[in-house]
């Protein structure tokens, strides 16, 4: 397949067009891979999930999916990958619990770019180890989408941490590489993936690692994960998840004084961020109803261990970036 989208290629906006695309791709994938095996790093994000579902339709268990849990995923994500792909779609899924490995490597590292490098490099290493355990893999599937080719946009460009070693170079299978994100979502729905997977907000490769600011500690990471889950749940309840492009929580590496049970205590603040953007190059702040902010704040203060304040960041980009590091 060429890497240039033909000018006359119809935009996939309906179920019928998605079904047609799926049927064509199934033929193309079968023709490309024959009876050989294909490997896929399945993060659970929209693009890799759609590629997985497409390949499962086309070649079933000739696809081997590897899901690496690096400990920096959001609450419930690894469980959902296992549920959807292994339990519901009967995929050949290897689940790698690499949590300790990543967190040990990251211990004491506070420089954000260093953290990104460690996470990216360790990911490649874990994936490589899994690939070496498997026999007869000749293809590597990837969730490349058209904006990745066009501009190496700000989101995936951060993934550039090198690739697999020379002796593990596989032929690529990239069935959605000419599609825009909205089209990938249409295809995902037509393939029967759950809506909350298909309409997920963008999530950075280094995950919660860049939202647990400075040197990552397990307790602060858990507090980020729990507060993020509360924010997502309340945004969903308020219908905001459909209108806000990206929303998440951050915990800086600092404490402030507060009071719990009449005793002064030093605990972390949680920072809320909710932005809208077209291309992530600039971003505006979504106005969140006060009742939602209050509900989220009350829940975080009641449910998340180690937190005594909630702050709401209303800085647009520029001057702030979307993430804090
Ligand atoms: P910033 O913070 O630069 O973020 O305004 C722009 C978009 O990029 C995402 N982002 C990343 N994505 N790896 C990624 O895959 C990263 O290291 C990374 N850093 C930021 C961010 O979530 C936002 O959508």
Please give the distance, rounded to the nearest whole angstrom, from the Cα atom of residue 265 to the centre of ligand 1.
33
With bands split at pLDDT 50, 70 and 90, how would you rate the model's confidence at 150?
A: confident
pTM score, two decimals?
0.94
Mean pLDDT of the chain, nearest integer: 95
With bands split at pLDDT 50, 70 and 90, how would you rate the model's confidence at 20?
A: very high
Please give the distance, rounded to the nearest whole angstrom, from the Cα atom of residue 7 to the centre of ligand 1.
30
Pairing of strands 92-97, 137-141: unpaired
Distance separating alpha carbons of residues 49 and 188, to the nearest angstrom: 8
Which residue is associated with the tokens 């294909």? 38
- pLDDT at position 113, please? 97
- pLDDT at position 290, please? 98
Q: Is the CB of 282 under 6 A from ligand 1?
A: no
- pLDDT at position 159, please? 46
- pLDDT at position 152, please? 60
Take atom 19 of ligand 1 and give the residue whose Cα is closest: 204
pLDDT surpassing 50 at residue 281: yes
Q: Is the CB of 321 under 6 A from ligand 1?
A: yes
Mean pLDDT in residue range 296-323 = 98
Q: Is the CB of 71 under 6 A from ligand 1?
A: no
Mean pLDDT in residue range 88-113 = 98
Q: Is the CB of 205 under 6 A from ligand 1?
A: yes
For the chain, the first-to-last Cα distance in angstroms comes to 37
Distance separating alpha carbons of residues 300 and 310, to the nearest angstrom: 8
- pLDDT at position 279, please? 87
Q: Is the CB of 154 under 6 A from ligand 1?
A: yes
- pLDDT at position 85, please? 98
Query: Which of 74-88, 155-169, 252-266 shows the lowest per-residue confidence on average (mean pLDDT)?
Result: 155-169
Please indicate whether residue 154 or residue 134 has the higher confidence score (pLDDT): 134
Mean pLDDT in residue range 164-173 = 90
Q: How does pLDDT run across 105-135, given as a tens digit for each residue?
A: 999 999 999 999 999 999 999 999 999 999 9
Which DSSP category does 61 fall into? G
Asked: is 211-312 a CATH 3.90.1720.10 domain? The reply is no
Q: Is the CB of 246 under 6 A from ligand 1?
A: yes
With bands split at pLDDT 50, 70 and 90, how would you rate the model's confidence at 163?
A: confident
Q: How does pLDDT run across 34-78, given as a tens digit for each residue?
A: 999 999 999 999 999 999 999 999 999 999 999 999 999 999 999
Q: Are 198 and 241 in contact (CB under 8 A)?
A: no
Take atom 20 of ligand 1 and give the residue whose Cα is closest: 204
Take atom 3 of ligand 1 and give the residue whose Cα is closest: 321
Pairing of strands 263-276, 256-260: antiparallel
pLDDT surpassing 60 at residue 28: yes
3-class secondary-structure state, position 289: coil
With bands split at pLDDT 50, 70 and 90, how would you rate the model's confidence at 162?
A: low
Domain ranges of the chain: 15-198, 211-312
Mutation to probe ligand 1, out of 46, 154, 281 (largest number of atoms < 8 A from CB): 154
Helix axes 218-237, 290-303, angle to 10 degrees: 150
Q: Is the CB of 158 under 6 A from ligand 1?
A: yes
Q: Is the CB of 44 under 6 A from ligand 1?
A: no
Q: Please state which CATH number belongs to domain 15-198.
A: 3.40.50.620
Q: Is the CB of 155 under 6 A from ligand 1?
A: yes
- pLDDT at position 214, please? 98
Return the ligand 1 atom nearest residue 277 CA.
24
With bands split at pLDDT 50, 70 and 90, how would you rate the model's confidence at 160?
A: very low
Q: Is the CB of 286 under 6 A from ligand 1?
A: no
Q: How does pLDDT run across 220-275, given as a tens digit for each residue?
A: 999 999 999 999 999 999 999 989 999 999 999 999 999 999 999 999 999 999 99
Please give the distance, rounded to the nearest whole angstrom, from the Cα atom of residue 317 to the centre of ligand 1.
12
* pLDDT above 70: percentage of residues in the chain: 96
């Amino acid at each position: 397949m060429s890497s240039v989208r033909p000018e006359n290629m119809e935009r996939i906006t309906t179920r019928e067009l998605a079904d047609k695309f799926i049927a064509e791709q199934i033929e193309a994938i079968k023709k490309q891979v024959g009876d050989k095996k294909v490997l896929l790093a399945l993060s659970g994000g929209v693009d890799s999930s759609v590629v997985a579902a497409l390949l499962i339709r086309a070649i079933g268990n000739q696809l081997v999916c590897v899901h690496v849990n690096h400990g920096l995923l959001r609450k419930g994500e690894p469980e959902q990958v296992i549920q959807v792909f292994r339990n519901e779609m009967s995929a050949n899924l290897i689940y790698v619990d690499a949590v300790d490995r990543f967190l040990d490597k990251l211990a004491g590292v506070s420089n954000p770019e260093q953290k990104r490098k460690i996470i990216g490099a360790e990911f490649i290493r874990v994936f490589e180890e899994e690939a070496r355990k498997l026999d007869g893999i000749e293809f590597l599937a990837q969730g490349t989408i058209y904006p990745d080719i066009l501009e190496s946009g700000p989101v995936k460009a951060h993934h550039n941490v090198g690739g697999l070693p020379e002796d593990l170079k596989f032929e690529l299978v990239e069935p959605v590489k000419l599609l825009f994100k909205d089209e990938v979502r249409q295809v995902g729905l037509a393939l029967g993936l759950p809506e909350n997977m298909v309409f997920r907000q963008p999530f950075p490769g280094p995950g919660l690692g860049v939202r647990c600011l400075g040197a990552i500690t397990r307790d602060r990471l858990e507090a980020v994960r729990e507060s993020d889950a509360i924010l997502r749940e309340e945004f969903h309840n308020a219908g905001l998840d459909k209108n806000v492009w990206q929303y998440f929580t951050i915990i800086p590496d600092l404490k402030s004084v507060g009071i719990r049970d009449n005793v002064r205590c030093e605990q972390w603040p949680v920072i809320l961020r909710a932005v809208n953007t077209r291309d992530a190059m600039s971003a505006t702040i979504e106005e969140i109803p006060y009742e939602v902010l209050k509900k989220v704040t009350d829940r975080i203060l009641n449910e998340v261990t180690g937190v005594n304040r909630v702050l709401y960041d209303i800085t647009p980009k520029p001057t702030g970036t979307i993430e804090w590091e």
